[in-house]
Structure 1
Amino acid sequence: MTTTMTETIRTVQNGAASIAYRVLGPSGEAAPTLCLIASTGRGPDDFRHLAEALATGGLRVVLPWPRGMGDSTGPLEDIDFHDLAGDAAAALAAEKGAGGAVVVGHAYGCWIARTVAQDRPELIDGLVLLAAGGGKWPAQLSRAIEVAMDPDAPEDERLAALRLGFFAEGHDPRPWLQGWNGALVGAQRAARTRTERDSWWTSGRAPVLDVVGLQDPFRPAGARDFYLREFAPRVTLATVDGASHALPDEKPAEVAALMLPWIHALRDGSGPERNQD
């Protein structure tokens, strides 16, 4: 049977939030479904090339806009990780077929993806971390985020901040001068402060693929095995050379080449086992 590739925009409710999302990939029940959750203050456009590569590889890709971006709406006050995770989980659950479900986070989105895996273990067959931070990082990197997203800062300073914190040498950071949402950043940071660490840190029980750019300053060599130490033997660590914190946008083909066999292996039983604890 020939699979038909589709691209559709839909909405789903999560309590008071209405979440818009794009679905890309083969139609039908058999394809594995995965949800890509974007980084701080940003939306799913950063995943454009990665999503296309994953869809071409046989996956059904769900790309939600976070509340406050695109056509997604919902309260930004007094929310926590579980509210944001519920948004992504609602979109993923609405599209999941018989092929299983994987949740994928990029940078800040890794925290939300891990919360989805913790809150909905019955839904999640696999968890993929793209450019997850290693626990702690220098204050200058947090400052780089502030400068990079500030539309009033001089452009040369913003580009320098993007090169410092997000882009490896040889990659053009200029597209990331756009796409930031300051109100969302404030809400996401407040959500982190409001969320009890023990309520999400374990990250469920699904196998984990941890993909790290070798030039990512948020994950230096000494922290490369951070999640292996935290969650082994659930974790498979993979690295991509020539990539920094904007990993899925810098190296989409390489990231897809790592994700696709790992996700397909979950279906045929050859992948890592779930934690049964």
Structure 2
Amino acid sequence: MSFETYELTRTDRAGNEIVLCGRKTGPAKGHPIVMLASLGRPGGDFDKVALALGETGFRVVLPEPRGIGGSSGPMEGLTLHDLADDVAHVIKDVPHAPVTLLGHAFGNRLARTTAADFPALVTRVILLACGGLIEMPVEARKALIGCFNADQTPEAHLECVRYGFFAEGNDPALWRDGWYPQVMLMQSGAVRRTPVEDWWGAGGQPMLVVQATEDRIALPANAQDLKKRFPDRVTLVELPHAGHAMLPEQPGKIVEIMSQYLA
């Protein structure tokens, strides 16, 4: 099983051309899953999970955000609704849509916005590290910002990655690279310009929430709030020995949880 690349173009409401690039794997007729990456991170973060799901018959699509991997377009003054338009354009190109839409960390906000704005394109939402309501502690925020600071020593940078993203004992070097500061600024601005109530409920879609037990950034209280508010459509599964990164820490377990849910 291997990845194939794709490229799409669209025009936004202001007449700007947007190029959307990414990769996909799995059988063309498999149930489609579109995966949205963490803040300032590439779609490659999902590679192990995507390949494993592709082997079991799913069609997995990994779009890159504007600013990564050939994707391009305006980067200033955006909202999550603008970025959800990008995701919707990708989904419309996927055979056998509607899709299961997965979002990790920042991607969970974008996944829920897309589900709310384009309910006909999404059958259910899977959220990994679903923060956005309960604020992270100050030290975790410093570590998150530090991950995008290229002026510090490699040792200091890796310590930010370790503290902010990885559970105790897990190897932060797995995410030593892959940090895109300009993409982070674009996405962070989009979050600030979009009211939480626009996307928190994911437009009424069923949700699987996978909550890492050692996540210092997307605190477990966020997942618990979702389950409390929407008990009939939220399935909450805890993931031990994982932090905010989650994907490089427990890829096999994530595939197992997703496969059981999607079955």
Other-structure match for 2:8: 12
Contact kept, 8 Å, 2:130 with 2:223, in 1: the verdict is no
Residue 238 of structure 1 and its aligned partner are, at CA, apart by: 0.6
Residue 102 of structure 1 and its aligned partner are, at CA, apart by: 0.6
Residue 67 of structure 1 and its aligned partner are, at CA, apart by: 0.6
Other-structure match for 1:106: 104
Residue 107 of structure 1 and its aligned partner are, at CA, apart by: 0.4
Contact kept, 8 Å, 1:43 with 1:66, in 2: the verdict is yes
Residue 222 of structure 1 and its aligned partner are, at CA, apart by: 4.8
Instruction: Tell me the matched-pair count.
Output: 257
- Equivalent runs, 1:215-230 vs 2, <5 Å: 215-220=214-219, 222-230=221-229
Distance 1:7 1:40 in 2: 23
**Percent of aligned positions with the same letter in both sequences?**
34
Say yes or no: does 1:85 pair with 2:84: yes
Distance 1:223 1:197 in 2: 12
> What are the Cα deviations for residues 219-276 of structure 1, in whole angstroms up to 9, with x where unaligned?
4455551210232211000111111100122111100100112123xxxxxxxxxxxx
Cα distance change on mapping 1:179 and 1:195 into 2, 3 Å: same
Other-structure match for 2:173: 174
Other-structure match for 1:138: 137
Contact kept, 8 Å, 2:212 with 2:244, in 1: the verdict is yes
Contact kept, 8 Å, 1:26 with 1:60, in 2: the verdict is yes
> What are the Cα deviations for residues 116-160 of structure 1, in whole angstroms up to 9, with x where unaligned?
100111111110000112622112111101112212212222222
The equivalent position to 2:123 in structure 1, one of 119, 122, 125, is 125
Other-structure match for 2:26: 25
Residue 200 of structure 1 and its aligned partner are, at CA, apart by: 2.4
After superposing on structure 2, the runs of 4+ consecutive aligned residues of structure 1 that deviate more than 3 Å are: 219-224
> What are the Cα deviations for residues 35-60 of structure 1, in whole angstroms up to 9, with x where unaligned?
11001101111111111111112110
Cα distance change on mapping 1:10 and 1:257 into 2, 3 Å: same
CA RMSD in angstroms comes to 1.7
Q: Bigger CA drift: 131-140 or 65-74?
A: 131-140
Cα distance change on mapping 1:193 and 1:27 into 2, 3 Å: same
> What are the Cα deviations for residues 180-222 of structure 1, in whole angstroms up to 9, with x where unaligned?
1111111111111112333323311221000011111234455
Distance 1:119 1:168 in 2: 34
3-state SS of the aligned residue for 2:122? coil
The TM-score with structure 1 as length reference comes to: 0.87
Distance 1:25 1:147 in 2: 36
Q: Tell me, which stretches of 5 or more residues in structure 1 are unaligned?
A: 265-277
Distance 1:101 1:208 in 2: 13
Contact kept, 8 Å, 1:51 with 1:61, in 2: the verdict is yes
Distance 1:199 1:223 in 2: 16
Contact kept, 8 Å, 1:53 with 1:252, in 2: the verdict is no
Other-structure match for 2:163: 164
Distance 2:117 2:95 in 1: 16
Contact kept, 8 Å, 1:34 with 1:62, in 2: the verdict is yes
In the alignment, residue 12 of structure 1 is paired with which amino acid? Answer: L
Contact kept, 8 Å, 1:149 with 1:177, in 2: the verdict is no
Other-structure match for 1:205: 204
